Amino acid sequence: MLNRHARGFFTALFTPLARWLLKIGVSPDAVTILGTAGVAAGALIFYPLGQLFWGTVFITAFIFSDVLDGIMARMQDVKSRWGNFLDSTLDRVADGALFAGVSVWFFTGGNNTAIAVSALLCLVLGMVVSYARAKAESLGFTANVGIAERAERLVSVLVVTGLTGLGLPPAVLLATLVLLAAASLITVVQRVVSVRRQSLAEPTPAD
């Protein structure tokens, strides 16, 4: 998938910056928090004002913090459960802000209820995708299956939203959001089925 194929490229690209940030005393957690704040600000300030292109540019400047903080943690050879928790939690904040910002604009000045509702569906289903995996893993199962990975969802909505701000027909954004919502729903079903199969394969406790 996109995030696996691109990981090597972005690691090479951001490694010098990661090394410099560590050198001046910036922590991976600080990068995680700053990146999330930047994405949320871009999505919740620019998008509701109808600035879809410039909002996307602003968000893109911060979105790669998710790659950068991971590189920094690996350089420190630190595998922190706290860092993993913080990163995962703030990813949900960033995703929620992104789809909420799109929805707010199209419920108001964008005047396209279909796009607004589709963005809300993407927001809700995206959260369920993440929750299904987290809950499964907390119970000792695995649920890392599915066709709607986070990287694909983010790239798709950012690219098409930005281009919509430059004049791309809104119908293209609507189609993209509908496809993302459908893919997220399929992923939820895949994860539920996967966990159900694992639960049925467990040995039955003796009476």
CB 184 within 8 A of CB 124: no
Q: Does the active-site annotation cover 29? A: no
CA–CA–CA angle 14, 43, 178 (5° rounding):
100
Kindly name the residue from 77, 91, 95, 207 that is annotated as catalytic: 91
The strand ranges marked E within the chain are none
Distance CA 74, CA 29 (A): 13
CB 122 within 8 A of CB 184: yes
For residue 61, give both structure tokens.
């400047």
Measure the CA dihedral 14/28/156/99, to 10°: -150
Q: Which residues of 8-28 are buried (b: 16+ CB within 10 A; e: fewer)?
A: eebeeebeeebeebbeeebbb
Quote the CA–CA distance of 144 and 191 in Å, as a whole number. Answer: 7
- The residues annotated with a catalytic role in the active site are 91
